[in-house]
Amino acid sequence: MNFENWTCPLPLQDYPSVVIGHGGGGKLSAELVEHLFLPAFRNSVLENLGDSSVIAAPAGRLAFSTDSFVVKPLFFPGGSIGDLAVNGTVNDLAMSGATPLYLSAGFIVEEGFPMTSLAQIVQRMAAAAERAGVQVITGDTKVVERGHGDGCYINTAGIGVLADGLRIGPALAQPGDVVILSGSIGDHGMAIMSVRESLEFETTIESDCAALNGLVADMLDASADIHVLRDPTRGGVASSLNEIAGQSKVGISIDETKIPVKPEVASACELLGMDPIYVANEGKLLAIVAAHAAEAILARMQAHPLGAGARIIGMVTANHPGMLVAKTGIGGTRVIPMQIGEQLPRIC
């Protein structure tokens, strides 16, 4: 799909920017649906345009998740808010072992937001949904007054289905389990930092934003002995592993030297005084699996494009429950705590 040369369909060309009326439920709203959302997300459920979408109940159990997206800037190297809005919710569903099926999409758009930017976001969402194999079956748009929003916010909710008997959750890590990381960390967070206002630095870092449901399906195919899956988004690997240690009441030991970090990400972190272990990822997962299944799962991950860099980084232990402990590069140990808030660049 070519986003750059996309041109507005005729009725939308009268409005190069979003106006309040586009969220008002009248003719302008209808035009937006008819000429922008429907063509992008087209599927038989959405086409009914009812107040709610009706779908057949799939067999098994349902997984349900929601997430809101407020990223700044809206377009960044390797992705956009549209990619995040689809992949984020797809990944949340996949982390319970579910197969994601349907999404909702709620847009809160600021008055004056360029129509072509909105269209690009929608096109990217549609492409991401297609890649992830999910359908956007219901949606909503509201427009807020100029100055009351950062251009565009998106909320997505998703429904997935998972087989009876599958038990994956953050409280299920057991001593002796192995911790696998699917690839290099910090790409998304540093890609965003590199284009933040007042901090632009030249780099080739791109966000790793991707839907992980295909990778998870392969892993489950290799073995069902997966106890915990987690996508280390905000707060990075450190926060995810701390949460798992807390919820499972176990300790987690990792070897810092086994955690892959791309050289350009490592350099950017070094420059800003940040620790990549706390930096956000949008296309990586942590898996805590039974030791006997680790090699089989790892091999399947490495055979998938999104898990090519997968590595075993540590293990679950009965010692130091609730805590994440790392062996450092020079052979010392350190506790890796939760952060209070965002990481802040240091003075010196």
Partner 1 sequence: MKYVNEFRDGAIAQRMASEIRRIVTRPWAIMEVCGGQTHSIIRNGIDQLLPEQIELIHGPGCPVCVTPLELIDKALAIASLPNVIFCSFGDMLRVPGSSKDLFRVKSEGGDVRIVYSPLDAVTLARANPDKEVVFFGIGFETTAPPNAMAVSLAKKQGLKNFSVLVSHVLVPPAIEAIMSSPINRVQAFLAAGHVCSVMGYWQYPPLADRFRAPIVITGFEPLDILEGIRRTVTLLEAGEAKVDNAYARVVSFEGNRPAQKILEDVFEVTDRAWRGIGTIPQSGWRLSAAYREFDAEQKFQVSGIETQESALCRAGEVLQGALKPNQCAAFGKECTPRHPLGATMVSSEGACAAYYNYGRFITLEKSAEACPVP
Contact residues for partner 1 (CB under 8 A)?
178, 198-199, 251, 253-255, 257-258, 263, 266-267, 270, 291, 294-295, 311-315, 317, 319-320, 323, 325, 327-335, 337, 340-341, 344-348
Nearer to partner 1, 34 or 255 (CB): 255
Say which DSSP state 20 is in.
G
The least CB distance from residue 92 to partner 1, in Å, is 28
The least CB distance from residue 40 to partner 1, in Å, is 37
Nearer to partner 1, 47 or 200 (CB): 200
The least CB distance from residue 152 to partner 1, in Å, is 23
> Which candidate, 105, 111, 112, places its Cα nearest to that of 140?
105
Nearer to partner 1, 116 or 317 (CB): 317
Nearer to partner 1, 56 or 347 (CB): 347
Helix axes 294-302, 213-222, angle to 10 degrees: 140
**Environment class of residue 188 by beta-carbon count within 10 Å: exposed (0-12), middle (13-18) or buried (19+)?**
buried
> Which candidate, 107, 89, 100, places its Cα nearest to that of 231?
89
d(CA 249, CA 18): 50
Nearer to partner 1, 167 or 334 (CB): 334
Say which DSSP state 80 is in.
E
d(CA 113, CA 55): 33
Which residues make Cβ contacts (< 8 Å) with residue 268, sequence separation at least 6?
Answer: 190, 193, 194, 201, 203, 205
The least CB distance from residue 20 to partner 1, in Å, is 26
Nearer to partner 1, 137 or 178 (CB): 178
Nearer to partner 1, 163 or 199 (CB): 199
254: phi > 0 → left, psi -120 to 50 → alpha, else beta; which?
A: beta
The least CB distance from residue 15 to partner 1, in Å, is 31
The least CB distance from residue 315 to partner 1, in Å, is 6
d(CA 207, CA 79): 6
The least CB distance from residue 287 to partner 1, in Å, is 14
